[in-house]
Structure 1
Amino acid sequence: MFACLLALWALPSAVRAQHHGEVADLQLERTAEGLLLSAALQLELPEVVEDALYKGISMHFIAEAEVVRQRWYWSDKTVARATRFLRLNYQPLTRRWRLTQSPVPFAANGLGVSLGQNFEELPDALSAMQRIARWKIADEAQIDEGVPYVVNFQFRLDMSQLPRPLQIGAVGRSGWDIVLARSVRLPAAEAAR
């Protein structure tokens, strides 16, 4: 019994130890083209992740947004879901950082639709990765007028894209657990035009 209480007491400190940033600002805008999300992240890369980047290992991140209609009579209904994939890597020969963004997961053969940017320094690449501007997360037809919605946003490190030895070694280590999340209500007053 005492061990269970001790474990519950230690849980909040374990959760704080895994804190690597926050979603500082999350804004929703309803336009004629749909629901747009803008966010500012404050992300601090753990030392193990930064060390792996400098060794040439690419880090894959996923930004996910989910628009949920809350219903009192049934379980909540997911109306729309949007995902953005990001890959950050260091190129030792040129000593440059490359940030690549794609609406679909990165293929192993390197083909696909993506947008890439090069940076001289890691803070510049991180700054670009932490700004999300006017990202369309739902079509206008998916959002009913006069109905309140909740938008759940999450930004995380995709552990499944790490090389297999790192996946095994990262299990249970808090330095690899990068998850930033925030929920915002889109009130019915904003939903109605």
Structure 2
Amino acid sequence: MLLVYPQRQARATEVTQLQVERGDEGVRLSALVRFDLPPVVEDALLKGIPMFFVLEADIYRDRWYWADLHVASAARTIRLAYQPLTRRWRVNIAAGLISNSAGLRATLNQNYDTLPEALAVIQRVARWKIAEASEVNPDAGHRLDFSFRLDLSQLPRPFQIGVAGQRDWTIAVQVKDRLRLEPAAAAAPALPAASSTEAGK
């Protein structure tokens, strides 16, 4: 008798927590991004192909007489790789965006025993500086654009051709909402989770 098991429904990528603080040292963003790692992505990792996740944040100041003014932007690249010899997972975090020709100048390198441990670090953004304090006027209105995605352009060329347009490789979310700043000591979320939307919708 052949048993057919239903496929597990993958959880859509979503931002379940998002907080922005403004202090003397700058504007810092904290977030929790929830997603399930697709089996095809995990299989590629186990075959030695690293994955790159990109975070981007942009702040715009309201202008009633013209288009909103872009006042600050920040980007971060996270590399996830499996090391077969040690059977451990390595996470590298670097400021800015990278290209295939540029090396990853990581500011944080850490090894983990399991994939869930490594993913937990990737999914949690802790007090990431996205702007100088002087760039955001607390008396003016601002908008925040925050995005998180798996960067398929960093895959080897044969993989890029094979995964183009395949939903199994899609890990992406984007949040666009009013920027509600919290004092540096506050812990309340700055944006509700309901404001997060999947990229492409």
Q: TM-score, normalised by structure 1?
A: 0.82
Residues 108, 92 of structure 1: CA spacing in aligned structure 2 closer, same or farther, 3 A cutoff?
A: farther
Matched ranges for 1:26-175 at <5 A: 26-104=18-96, 105=98, 110=103, 112-175=105-168
- What is the SS of the residue equivalent to 2:43? helix
Distance change >3 Å, CA 131–CA 188, structure 1 → 2: closer
Q: Over aligned residues, Cα RMSD in angstroms?
A: 2.2
Asked whether the 8 Å contact 2:57–2:75 carries over to 1, the reply is yes
Q: Which residue of 1 aligns with 2:189?
A: none
Q: What is the number of residues matched between the two proteins?
A: 174
For residues 144 and 129 of structure 1, do their structure 2 counterparts lie closer, same or farther at Cα, with a shift above 3 Å needed? Answer: same
* 1:18–1:174 Cα contact (<8 Å) kept: no
Alpha-carbon distance, 1:185 to partner = 1.9
User: For 1:37, what is the secondary structure of its paired residue?
Assistant: strand
Distance 1:146 1:189 in 2: 13
Are the structure 2 counterparts of residues 46 and 20 from structure 1 closer, same or farther at C-alpha, using a change threshold of 3 Å?
farther
Residues 113 and 46 of structure 1, relative CA distance in 2, 3 Å threshold: closer
- Structure 1 gaps of 5+ residues are 1-16
Distance 1:92 1:156, change over 3 A: same
8 Å CA contact 1:106–1:112 kept in 2: the answer is no
Asked whether the equivalents of residues 23 and 133 of structure 2 are also in contact (C-alpha less than 8 Å), the reply is yes
Shift of 1:19: 6.2
Query: Which one has the bigger helix percentage?
Result: 1
Q: Could you say what secondary structure the match of 1:152 adopts? A: strand
Is this contact kept in 1: 2:16–2:34, CA < 8 A?
yes
Distance in 2, matches of 1:24 and 1:53, equals: 26
Cα separation, 2, equivalents of 1:18 and 1:79: 36
Question: Aligned partners of 2:181, 2:62: CA distance in 1, in Å?
Answer: 12
The residue matched to 1:112 in structure 2 has which SS? Answer: coil
**Superimposed CA distance per residue, residues 146-184 of structure 1 (whole angstroms, 9 cap, x where no aligned partner):** 101111110001111000011011111001121122234
Tell me, what secondary structure is at the counterpart of 2:147? strand
Shift of 1:142: 0.6
Deviates more, 1:107-116 or 1:167-176: 107-116
- Output the CA distance in 1 between the equivalents of 2:125 and 2:180: 22
Contact 2:38 2:168 in 1 (8 A): yes
* Corresponding residue number in structure 2 for 1:20: 12
